[in-house]
Amino acid sequence: MNGAEILVKCLELEGADTIFAYPGGASMPIHQALTRSKKIRTILPRHEQGGVFAAEGYARATGRPGICMTTSGPGATNLVTGIADAYMDSVPLIAITGQVPQDMIGRGAFQETDVFGMTLPVVKHSYLIWDINDIPRIVKEAFYIATSGRPGPVVIDLPKNIQNQKAIPVFPETITLRGYDVDKRASDKDLLEVVRLIQKAKMPMLYCGGGIITSESADELLEFVERTQIPVATTLMGIGGFPETHPLSLKWLGMHGAVYANNAVNEADLLLAIGVRFDDRVTGKVEKFAEHGTIVHIEIDDSEINKNKVVTLPILSDLKYALRCLNDLLAKEGFKRVKGNAFTRFTPWYEKIQAWKKDKPFSYKATDDAIQPQYVVEQIYKLTEGKAIMTTGVGQHQMWAAQFYNFDKPRTYITSAGLGTMGFGYPAAIGAKVACPDREVIDIDGDGSFLMNIQELACAHIEKIPVKAVILNNQHLGMVVQWEDRFYEGNRGHTFLGDPEDNDRIYPDYTAICKGFGVACERVIHKKDLIPALKRMLASKETYVLDVKVPYTEHVLPMIPANMTYKDVITE
């Protein structure tokens, strides 16, 4: 077999069924081998960035590694943003890049870039293959590294001459990586201390992040909550890790999170932080975050412990193991599992939280005709009964989707959180739909974010991927406009996306663009037309775009300004 065929066989052995791959000179042999694969579907994105985001969508929806591939040079550099995005959000990703022949490396050859060196800060690991006989071992290692411990992206750079060489491959059944230990287990002593802290607490809170989802620990978390009766707030990455319709859910906290969630986390006397990294969008001024409470941090990545916030009790552990052990300890200590709404352990604390909920819920001002973006998300939630997989771009629409849709299952809110990458939503929806063809997948996007990877309409149409997109079109870079209004006296610094010679014209015309791609699209301007249009979109069995005109004056509230505290929240 030649090197390209060995690579494809290795992917098949790892269970790969889909690869998002854009061909070029340095990766052509691999594409030729892929045409002969009976197990792997090769999907052609229309831009390499679209391909890596689609691979991320696949990975985030399933937990399995997403796979993307490009040629060398500009193809590889177009992957870098997506690789960084996967790194920030702990997404398992295999990024394969063709490379110029070995004897041309370092000589400034046509379409040569040092993708190995360029991606070093934003990968979990990377390989430049120098021997055809190493391909089977490296691919097996790459999949293991990408999916074990704290997941992340792995780059495999493969020179073209090795793709064309021939060898008799030996496929390893097991691998050993010296120094790479992902079997992190909390000690009984530390876990027993957690139980003792819960027994003494009067106002405890759970602060849960994306680690709950990546470790597949949602069921264990639910049992832990129903035994301890401790309320839960998630991060943006943790959305869906705990059911948001559960009576102990406070939805999510942070800059645009629920007022009551931020209040509860910051005023708790015991904060159990599980699978989180104390991100600045959650903590605000970090030295003031949860400053009066005892903080326990359970986390699998020791580099995150005491990095942003020094805690009282750090516990290095796989979350699933830690939660299972805690549930066993709680059962022995007489903590019975309580379902429904019969929670009595911290009654004064619940009453305080309920008062906060009543005082400052997520809300917006209703209108007669203009379509409020929050209203759009609410109607999508009602029509899908909360069962859809939602992806988003980045901006105001991303926050509204999280605020006004209730997510009860993991891997149903797919968003670029840590890197905040515009253009993520639509290709990620394609990847999620490929991974979950029987699920409704909807991209809630902004006009600025959607435009950044609009070429993937062609991918969705040609590949017959019936993904839906709802554009909340305010003709502006909405989140930046909001900051301009709040902190720059409303002075516009190049944030208008429409036609300056005709402010009333909706520009660009997404209905015309979609028609060119062969994709169904309709525009909605009046409130009375929204629900019928949403029903038509959801009933369609094909790729569909809904362009909804919304006011650019609407702000995402609540809002805690950067580096401020929960007490500085803006709600009006």
Of the candidates 433, 414, 513, 421, the residue with the CA atom closest to the CA atom of residue 473: 513
**Distance separating alpha carbons of residues 436 and 142, to the nearest angstrom:** 24
Q: Which two tokens stand for residue 56?
A: 């991320």
At 91, the amino acid letter reads: V
Q: Which two tokens stand for residue 190?
A: 């530390």
pLDDT tier, 466 (very low <50, low <70, confident <90, very high otherwise): very high
Cα torsion at 537, 540, 545, 546 (round to 10°)? -10
- Residue 313 near residue 190 (C-beta atoms within 8 A): yes
- Residue 169 near residue 1 (C-beta atoms within 8 A): yes
Of the candidates 400, 207, 167, the residue with the CA atom closest to the CA atom of residue 295: 207
Q: pLDDT value at position 366?
A: 92
Q: pLDDT value at position 154?
A: 98
Residue 337 has a CB neighbour count (10 Å cut-off) of: 15
pLDDT tier, 472 (very low <50, low <70, confident <90, very high otherwise): very high
**Distance separating alpha carbons of residues 296 and 207, to the nearest angstrom:** 10
**Distance separating alpha carbons of residues 260 and 248, to the nearest angstrom:** 12
Over residues 404-425, the pLDDT tens digits come to 999 999 999 999 999 999 999 9
Question: How far is CA 197 from its chain centroid?
Answer: 32
- Residue 64 near residue 91 (C-beta atoms within 8 A): no
Cα torsion at 241, 59, 170, 69 (round to 10°)? -160
Q: How large a percentage of the chain has pLDDT more than 90? A: 99
Mean model confidence pLDDT for the chain: 97
Q: Which two tokens stand for residue 534?
A: 């949403």
* Mean pLDDT on 135-163: 98
pLDDT tier, 271 (very low <50, low <70, confident <90, very high otherwise): very high
Q: pLDDT value at position 419?
A: 97
User: Would you say residue 383 has pLDDT above 90?
Assistant: yes
User: Would you say residue 561 has pLDDT above 90?
Assistant: yes
Q: pLDDT value at position 15?
A: 98
Q: Which two tokens stand for residue 439?
A: 């699920």
Over residues 532-541, the pLDDT tens digits come to 999 999 999 9
Q: pLDDT value at position 480?
A: 98
* Mean pLDDT on 40-44: 98
**Distance separating alpha carbons of residues 484 and 351, to the nearest angstrom:** 38
Q: How large a percentage of the chain has pLDDT more than 70? A: 100
Q: Any idea how long the chain is?
A: 572
At 66, the amino acid letter reads: G
User: Would you say residue 340 has pLDDT above 90?
Assistant: no
Read off the DSSP letter of residue 93. Answer: E
* Mean pLDDT on 543-551: 98
User: Would you say residue 312 has pLDDT above 90?
Assistant: yes
List helix spans (H) across 28-77.
28-34, 48-62, 74-77
**Distance separating alpha carbons of residues 175 and 53, to the nearest angstrom:** 29
Domains of the chain are 3-164 (3.40.50.970), 188-359 (3.40.50.1220), 373-549 (3.40.50.970)
User: Would you say residue 567 has pLDDT above 90?
Assistant: yes
Query: pTM, whole model, 2 decimals?
Result: 0.97
List helix spans (H) across 122-184.
135-147, 160-164
Of the candidates 521, 449, 518, 453, the residue with the CA atom closest to the CA atom of residue 478: 449
**Distance separating alpha carbons of residues 233 and 118, to the nearest angstrom:** 37
Query: Please, how many CA atoms are within 13 Å of residue 150, restricted to the half-sphere of its CB?
Result: 23
Residue 556 has a CB neighbour count (10 Å cut-off) of: 21
**Distance separating alpha carbons of residues 572 and 563, to the nearest angstrom:** 19
Read off the DSSP letter of residue 54. Answer: H
Q: pLDDT value at position 498?
A: 97
Residue 124 has a CB neighbour count (10 Å cut-off) of: 20
User: Largest Cα–Cα distance in the chain?
Assistant: 72
**Distance separating alpha carbons of residues 361 and 210, to the nearest angstrom:** 24
User: Would you say residue 478 has pLDDT above 90?
Assistant: yes
Dihedrals φ, ψ of 204, to 5°? Answer: -85, 155
Q: pLDDT value at position 362?
A: 97
User: Would you say residue 485 has pLDDT above 90?
Assistant: yes
**Strand order across the beta sheet in which 93-99 lies:** 41-43, 18-21, 66-70, 93-99, 153-159, 125-128
Cα torsion at 302, 410, 565, 378 (round to 10°)? 170
Over residues 290-311, the pLDDT tens digits come to 999 999 999 999 999 999 999 9
User: Would you say residue 263 has pLDDT above 90?
Assistant: yes
Peptide bond into 558 cis (omega under 30): yes
Compute the chain's Rg from CA coordinates.
24
Instruction: For residue 142, list its beta bridge partners.
Output: none
Residue 562 has a CB neighbour count (10 Å cut-off) of: 12
- Residue 61 near residue 434 (C-beta atoms within 8 A): no
Q: pLDDT value at position 90?
A: 98
Q: Which residues are catalytic?
A: 48, 110-111, 160, 479
First vs last C-alpha separation in the chain:
66
- Residue 151 near residue 87 (C-beta atoms within 8 A): no
Q: What SS3 class is residue 443?
A: strand
pLDDT tier, 375 (very low <50, low <70, confident <90, very high otherwise): very high
pLDDT tier, 279 (very low <50, low <70, confident <90, very high otherwise): very high
CA distances to 40, 215, 343, 355, 356 from 351, in Å: 54, 32, 11, 6, 9
The angle that helices 135-147 and 3-13 make with each other, rounded to 10 degrees, is 40
Of the candidates 279, 227, 228, the residue with the CA atom closest to the CA atom of residue 253: 279
Over residues 451-465, the pLDDT tens digits come to 999 999 999 999 999
Q: Which two tokens stand for residue 47?
A: 């831009």
**Strand order across the beta sheet in which 313-316 lies:** 249-252, 232-234, 204-208, 270-274, 294-299, 313-316
Question: How far is CA 536 from its chain centroid?
Answer: 28
Residue 287 has a CB neighbour count (10 Å cut-off) of: 10
